[in-house]
Amino acid sequence: MEYEYKVVQLREGLIGGKMSAGKLEKALNENARGGWQLKAVTAVDVKGRVGPGGVEGVLVTFERAKA
């Protein structure tokens, strides 16, 4: 069986903001409806668009069997 993968970057908008459980849960449920299964969650510091600051975020990796 072949698999395909999808990586989603989630972050909070404020510099130094913490990742909310609700935001992660929403992303998990939305992707589950599309047949994606959670494979891994990796914490990362995501660079902001302006300035040197970063925000706390996660990379969420999903897996599903290819059709």
How many CB atoms lie under 10 A from the CB of residue 33?
7
Mean pLDDT across the chain, nearest whole number?
83
Is residue 45 within 8 Å of 56, Cβ to Cβ?
yes
For the stretch 10-42, pLDDT in tens is 877 655 556 678 888 999 999 999 999 999 999
Question: Residue 4, Cα to own-chain centre: how many angstroms?
Answer: 16
